[in-house]
Structure 1
Amino acid sequence: MTTGLSDNEAITREGGLHRTLGKRQITMIGLGGAIGTGLFMGSGIAIGYAGPAVLLSYLIAALIAVIMVFSLSEMAVVHPTAGSFGTYAEIYLGPFAGFLIRYTYWIQ
């Protein structure tokens, strides 16, 4: 017993979709593949040199990144303004911190 859609139902449901990729999208897919390959190669070399403790350091770094993302998302919900990092630094750390963060972003 099959519960899938027939060919005609699938075609009518997805009739408005376009199956095209732009030049930018293909470029981003290529960049993502190159970066991912580089990460796996770099991880393998680091694990070969330092052993499995590298995985623990990657786990700690990932935990810090997740905490930062959750913190920023909470601040974005409480203070929905433009200029996110600079505004949050100014609100929570003071005007000089906001100034410093904004110009650090500008320099980057």
Structure 2
Amino acid sequence: MTTTDLINAYLDVWNERDAAAREALMKSVLTGDSVYSDPDYAGLRGHAELSEAIGRAQANFGDLRFALGDVIGAHHDRALFTWRLGTAATGYDVVEFDGDRIRSVVGFFA
């Protein structure tokens, strides 16, 4: 799986509305001890905490879906990319990889 493929799979996690299906995606994309932070959430740990936060956030998104903008750069075990949430929002994420899964995500809203 390429860096771009893994990032797209991560965005699929955010787009998945069914909690059980989202958990299955998370297992293939994120390490079990993954950490997520953005301006709204600080240090969410593991799949359950992130899935709960995604469910709450989706209630505010309506039908909007995340899409990859650009992979700005990737080196060693990290990547920086932009994303769009429909036409409503944009942002940047920095992800850290552990092999073929993501260990941490730090998100920024533009």
TM-score range, shorter chain: under 0.3
Higher strand share: 2
Higher helix share: 1
TM-score, normalised to structure 2, is 0.23
* Higher relative contact order (Cα pairs below 8 Å, separated by 6+ residues): 2
